Amino acid sequence: MAQLTERLEVSQQQLTRLGAVNLTAIDEYTEAAKHKQDLDAQDADLNEALAQLEAAMARMDCETRARFRETFDAVNARLGSIFAQLFGGGEAMLTLNENDALDGGVQLMARLPGK
C-alpha cells in the first residue's frame, strides 16, 4: 500500500509540473497549419514566377544576341564599301573584343589609302 501511495504522489507531482492544459491548442494548431499551407502555396507561386522570369530572360538574351550579331554583320559588311567611298580607298572593318557579343566591346579597324 505504501508503494501505491508513493507512486500516486509522484504521479501527482508530475501532473502538477506539467501545468495547465491548453484547451485551445488543437484550434491553434489547426490555424497554424492553415497559415503554413497558405505560405507554402505562396512560396510555390513565387518559385514558379521566378522560373518563368528566368526562362523569359534567357529567351530575351538569346534573341538579343542573335539580333546584335545579325546587325553587327550587316554593318560590318557595308562599312568597307562606305569607308572606301568616303576616303577614296582604304579599308575598314568592325571586330568584337570578346567572344560574347553583348558583354564585349566593338573595335573599328581602319586603314586609310596609301597607309
List of the chain residues with pLDDT < 70: 115
pLDDT of residue 33: 97
CB 97 within 8 A of CB 104: yes
- Domain spans, the chain: 27-111
Grid cell at residue 70: 545579325
Query: In whole angstroms, what is the distance from residue 87 CA to residue 114 CA?
Result: 11
pLDDT tens digit sequence for 18-46:
778 788 888 999 999 999 999 999 999 99
Query: In whole angstroms, what is the distance from residue 72 CA to residue 106 CA?
Result: 9
Q: Is the pTM of this model over 0.85?
A: no
CATH of domain 27-111: 3.40.50.300
> CB-hemisphere CA count at 13 Å for 18?
9
pLDDT of residue 115: 66
Query: In whole angstroms, what is the distance from residue 96 CA to residue 35 CA?
Result: 54
pLDDT of residue 53: 98
pLDDT of residue 20: 80
pLDDT of residue 98: 79
